[in-house]
Structure 1
Amino acid sequence: MGRRDDLDRFREVGEERRQDLSEFIQYGDLGASGPDSVNVPIKIVDLPEFAYDPRDMGGVGQGQGGTPDVGDPVGEPEPQPGDGDDDGEDGEPGEEGGDHEYYEMDPEEFAAELDEELGLDLDPKGKKVIEETEGDFTDITRSGPASTLDFERLFKQGLKRKLAMDFDEEYLKAALKVDGWGPATVFEWARDQNIPVSRAWIDDAYASMPADERSKWDSIEEMTDDVDRESTATRIRREGVDEVPFRREDERYRYPEIIEEREKNVVVVNIRDVSGSMRESKRELVERTFTPLDWYLTGKYDNAEFVYIAHDADAWEVDREEFFGIRSGGGTRISSAYELASEILEAEYPWSEWNRYVFAAGDSENSSNDTENNVIPLMESIPANLHAYVETQPSGNAINATHAQELESHFEDDNVAVAYIEGPGDVLDAIETVLSAEQ
């Protein structure tokens, strides 16, 4: 086993010791990750390496000054920081943290692990058709190229007709030999016996029969006692099938099933209250909730795009870096964010082509009657896979923080999720509440 094998083994050990996913989401350092890679801290075991004993660093042939002069001390090492110093400023045991590296997972792996952690399995919906391919020849039509004619089906249809039209000719000819019976009587009798014979065939058979044979039996009962009726199956086994009666209406042509490949596109609109009441602790809870949701949906869809909207009394679009850190001193009018979200979605992300998720977060404080008069109608007018609001109130509900409760009361049975977070320990439950609400 070489040193490279040792390195791989130590890395495996480190990956086994990476931070638990739920702990990472609630308390870990999310800032070390990017939009497309999730870096979960792991404790890496120090690799073994060769090192000289400090006591052997001096001596003849090892000093930095070359050959020692006469009278210089030999074999006594220079004092090293932390080697027995009593001032405690260097090398104090336990003062330095262990070396950390990161276990890097892509959003797909993160989404799979979060599904397992929360017992979820979101099935992304395809929207825009990007390609149509031909599958197996499983469908049929009444017309098509000769090369696609379904001969097996054609033969089966013809054979079914053959069996349905077949009858025991000798048995019918025997009935024509009953004294006093003619073609009309035999035809009526054959219909009663469910024998599929035509009147024309009976007329021809009777005409070709010698006159002295037309009175062989005195009654039909006598004939049926003397002559056994042979089944079609028995006759086919003995004689085979000379011809199968095909008809144009039996023709069917195979054509391939058309398979539509749909691209699974998603746009996630993240809305955050940045008013003066949204202090640092509240902002951190928003980041701990929205960041894993972004990773999760990125991992679930083929193409994920994100829109970040900040608002106080007004709303404006920001980039991701600004979104979690920005703070304003203004008031709060949540409907301004939904007005902007509606404009952006209709202009750039049509519902027919994009899955939509609209997530908002804040401390539930809103201007008077804005939730009932404006926000709720706007949410109802924006088609989306899921709307969600996450209330972040580290100190519990404020007296005027009623936005989340109003939404929860109004959208009780609709595809809208409302979650409440008072601290990092509530984050995972909030994420589960949001993701499990999609119907």
Structure 2
Amino acid sequence: MGLREDLERYREVGEAKREDLADFIQYGDLGQSLPDEINIPIKIVDLPEFAYDRRDKGGIGQGEPDVGDPVGEPQPQPGDGDEEGDPGDESGDHDYYEMDPEEFAEELDDELGLDLEPKGKEVIEEKEGDFTDMTRTGPDSTLDFERMFKEGLKRKLAMDFDPDFLEEVLKIDGWGPDRTFSWARENAINVSKHWLEEAYRRIPDDERTTYDSIEEVEESVTRRSTAQKIKEEGITHVPFRKEDERYRYPEIIEEREKNVVVVNIRDVSGSMREKKRELVERTFTPLDWYLTGKYDNAEFVYIAHDAEAWEVERDEFFGIRSGGGTKISSAYELAAAILDERYPWSDWNRYVFAAGDSENSRNDTSENVIPLMDEIPANLHAYVETQPDGKAINATHAEEVDDHFGESNEVAVSYVNSPEDVTDAIYEILSTEAES
């Protein structure tokens, strides 16, 4: 195996050492990634290299250590010491595996067992599909001859009869055309009375009393079905009619753009300390990546709130902390106004994700937030409670929302008390929307 193959093998080993997606979401440095490029750490595998031993061992032909160019760096020797620190106390270097949101969404689907099918909203194009629809008029080139032939053949099978057998029936003593016609109708033989009269005229008088009964005819004469006649003689005529004509035309397919707007709401009041903010970021950031990967066009709105709400940029969203109180309904009021103005429900899929420590102003959840959640049309509303240090007595918002909406497929409530809970929360949110 050559050096090139060795290098490639080591790269593959490094790729295999890419951090697990769930571990990356729970514990990784999400800040190294961009909205459209997720960077997942890879442990670098040191490649083998030649090293020059600078110790003088003596011997014939031993040159000075500084003669020639060294290959690789000299390796530390026992007793050399390490002024930078003790051996083994430094973490390994990392490279990054770059993943776009589409690949991230696909891998997260596989890892968590998700099955979210994005919904198309705005019609952007109508195009012709397969020629599967039928009309009674059209150009000759689109005439469905196969269908027309089948219709004609069915008619032939239904209308055809065995003329030789009927001629023998006409020879029953006392029957003639009238009695034969009645018998034919009773036996679903589609023969006209005119045909029978013409055939009877051709029969000599002395042959019109050949048989005494129909049973005698059936015993004496072999009767052929239409299918048997076609098999033996082929088809000389298929009775086509105008009403059999059908012309194929293409099915019209509407191409719908899969647009999504995600409204991220975060409590930035004084109680939302660093650990709580980090859990919000660990939950919301992968959700943003996932939905970006699933939809053709994804836009994001970030709303921060204490007792009042205001729109912020993403870079500010996870770091803001105020000293004010909390009124969650202020964020939903602002979200409703933004959605109505910029993202009409007829054109956009909507997700409204909120997070906080479940502390809220007295009665605000029941009197204001829940009615607003009912009034804002969305694919999914979700609330994420973050309580890493234990729950406060007045932190009841998540429970009130959960109790009100119960098993609704349009509202998800999840509880994140540590990084280990993050992937469960993401699954709870996305699987709820998938079910709806």
TM-score of the aligned structures, taking structure 1 as reference length: 0.87
The reply on whether 1:361 has 2:358 as its aligned counterpart is: no
Identical pairs, percent: 72
Q: How large is the RMSD of aligned CA atoms in angstroms?
A: 2.7
Relative to structure 1, the CA distance from residue 275 to residue 184 in structure 2 (aligned partners, 3 Å threshold; closer, same or farther) is same
Say which SS state the counterpart of residue 200 (structure 1) adopts. Answer: helix
* Cα distance in structure 2, aligned partners of 1:380 and 1:360: 15
Say which SS state the counterpart of residue 262 (structure 1) adopts. Answer: strand
The answer to whether the 8 Å contact 1:132/1:259 transfers is yes
* Cα distance in structure 2, aligned partners of 1:108 and 1:405: 34
Flag structure 1 segments of 5+ consecutive residues without an equivalent. 64-80
Counterpart in 1 of 2:197? 203
The reply on whether 1:423 has 2:418 as its aligned counterpart is: yes
Select between 330-339 and 200-209 the one with higher mean Cα deviation.
Answer: 200-209
The answer to whether the 8 Å contact 1:357/1:386 transfers is yes
Counterpart in 1 of 2:396? 402
Counterpart in 2 of 1:141? 135
Q: How many residues align?
A: 420
* Cα distance in structure 2, aligned partners of 1:239 and 1:43: 80
The reply on whether 1:319 has 2:313 as its aligned counterpart is: yes
Give the partner amino acid of 1:290: F
**Which residue of the other structure, out of 87, 91, 108, is the alignment partner of 1:97?**
91
Counterpart in 1 of 2:179? 185
* Cα distance in structure 2, aligned partners of 1:61 and 1:193: 116
Q: Kindly report which structure 2 residues correspond to 1:31-430, keeping only aligned pairs within 5 A, or say none.
A: 31-49=31-49, 89-90=83-84, 92-414=86-408, 415-430=410-425
* Cα distance in structure 2, aligned partners of 1:234 and 1:423: 80
The answer to whether the 8 Å contact 1:82/1:91 transfers is no
* Cα distance in structure 2, aligned partners of 1:37 and 1:181: 93
Cα drift, residue 158 of structure 1: 0.7
Deviations 1:91-147 (A, max 9, x none): 543354322222222222222222232222222222223333323222222221111
Flag structure 2 segments of 5+ consecutive residues without an equivalent. 57-62, 68-75
* Cα distance in structure 1, aligned partners of 2:253 and 2:229: 47
The answer to whether the 8 Å contact 1:10/1:44 transfers is no
Cα drift, residue 370 of structure 1: 1.1
Cα drift, residue 431 of structure 1: 1.6
Counterpart in 1 of 2:428? 433
Cα drift, residue 53 of structure 1: 5.5
Counterpart in 2 of 1:75? none
Deviations 1:3-54 (A, max 9, x none): 5544433332222222222222122211111111111222212334456656
Counterpart in 2 of 1:68? none
Cα drift, residue 193 of structure 1: 2.6
Cα drift, residue 60 of structure 1: 8.5
Relative to structure 1, the CA distance from residue 181 to residue 32 in structure 2 (aligned partners, 3 Å threshold; closer, same or farther) is same
Counterpart in 2 of 1:25? 25
The answer to whether the 8 Å contact 1:13/1:44 transfers is no
Select between 404-413 and 200-209 the one with higher mean Cα deviation.
Answer: 200-209
Cα drift, residue 300 of structure 1: 1.9
Say which SS state the counterpart of residue 244 (structure 1) adopts. Answer: coil
Cα drift, residue 329 of structure 1: 1.6
Say which SS state the counterpart of residue 432 (structure 2) adopts. Answer: coil
Give the partner amino acid of 2:45: V
Say which SS state the counterpart of residue 90 (structure 1) adopts. Answer: coil
Cα drift, residue 413 of structure 1: 2.0
